[in-house]
Amino acid sequence: MTSCRAFGFQNVYQQNNVSSIRCSSLAAVSKKNYNIALLPGDGIGPEVISVAKNVLNLAGSIEGIEFKFNEKLVGGAALDAVGVPLPEDTLTAVKQSDAILFGAIGGDATDTNQRHADIGIALLQLREGLKVFANLRPVSVLPQLVDASTLKKEVIEGVDLMVIRELTGGIYFGKPKGFGTNENGEEIGFNTEVYAAYEIDRIARIAFETARKRRGKLCSVDKANVLEASMLWRKRVMAIAEEYPDVELSHMYVDNAAMQLVRNPKQFDTIVTNNIFGDILSDQASMLTGSLGMLPSASLSESGPGLFEPIHGSAPDIAGQDKANPLATILSAAMLLKYGLGEVKAAERIELAVLDTLNRGFRTGDIWSAGNVCTVLLNTNTNNYFP
């Protein structure tokens, strides 16, 4: 049996003002049971999902939780196996689960543009099928990783923000879209940015509720100086703000927001924005931490299972080499427990294990800096995981 120490699952407690570490005994309680759909996908996806699965199992064994995992194909793996990037049995399985843990999808440099598009549409179809409209991406610069960022320490130290992205509307789903020919006979491609009031209202409420539980500040990002869809966005956010007088609301154009995230990221608490702006800004914000490999995300619906995934891609260039950073996927598993299943204690146990591992100086190459041990945190041999 794998030890607690091998997984970094330890409780830190204070005794005579000295921090000590110990393994917890298994909880002597009746087990709760959950069905978790695993979608490893492509590239490093299967590697990081394998690690997160082991972490969930150990956290569950300590907290009296039992997981039944159902692994399904998605992305390039599904396209190669059955000819479609999101098979019907995969979509059926995820809808019947309690929560979904997703790895990554994507091809490599040798793939055609069409194959890249075919693979990428799987995630959009999955989000649409699950009706997950709210994407939560926490961005915290951990003290242990301040030196991993490319920005100055004084700029990023203490950054703690949440990007809330509307996920199922806007230009990625708007119609009409496609290809055609203009009046000059030239080939054109076109997409439509469109939002209905109810889509804006529901994501705004999620954002206000989140800001209320954080530091009480919400910044709505749009492009209302030129885009009609953004004008409606701002109008509806301001209307919903009347329901939350305790939350300080501000507005910022997306180009300025992109600049401010680099110039002064500590000014932000909670950010809410549309699909395409959120796609870009959340990736930009993630680099404040120094690596995409550190950041988890949760995608939630009004009812039904949530989708939890690291924000990094499939990284085919390092797949199968034990170089991938698994922490974003492990922290996504923690978000699955907290937001998807309401198992806060188990989630906090995982978060503590991650911090403890970083405190002991272990790093993957993407977050390494002088003075730390550059090691492979991810290993399919679980006895070597989190040494």
Active site residues: 172, 223, 255, 279, 283
333 Cα distance to chain centroid: 10
CA distances from 7 to 10, 23, 164, 237, 352 (A): 9, 10, 31, 44, 12
Q: Which residue has the tokens 């003290």?
A: 143
C-alpha to C-alpha distances, 81 to 86, 117, 314, 364, nearest whole angstrom: 11, 17, 18, 32
The SS3 call for residue 219 is: strand
> How long, in residues, is the chain?
387
| Separation of alpha carbons 248 and 241, rounded Å | 9
Characterize 154-179 residue by residue with b for buried, 16 or more Cβ atoms within 10 angstroms of its Cβ, and e for exposed: ebbeebebbbbbbbbbbbbbeeeeee
User: What one-letter code names the amino acid at 44?
Assistant: I
For the chain, where are the alpha helices, taking DSSP H only? Answer: 4-7, 45-63, 76-82, 88-95, 113-130, 153-156, 197-213, 228-241, 254-263, 275-286, 327-335, 344-359
- Chain position carrying tokens 């000590």: 20
Q: Return the residue matching tokens 């911090």.
A: 355
| Longest Cα separation, the chain | 80
Instruction: Please name which of 309, 347, 356, 352 lies closest in space to residue 328, comparing C-alpha atoms.
Output: 309
Q: Tell me which residue of 243, 220, 242 sits closest to 232, measured CA to CA.
A: 220
Dist. CA 10–CA 188, nearest whole Å: 57
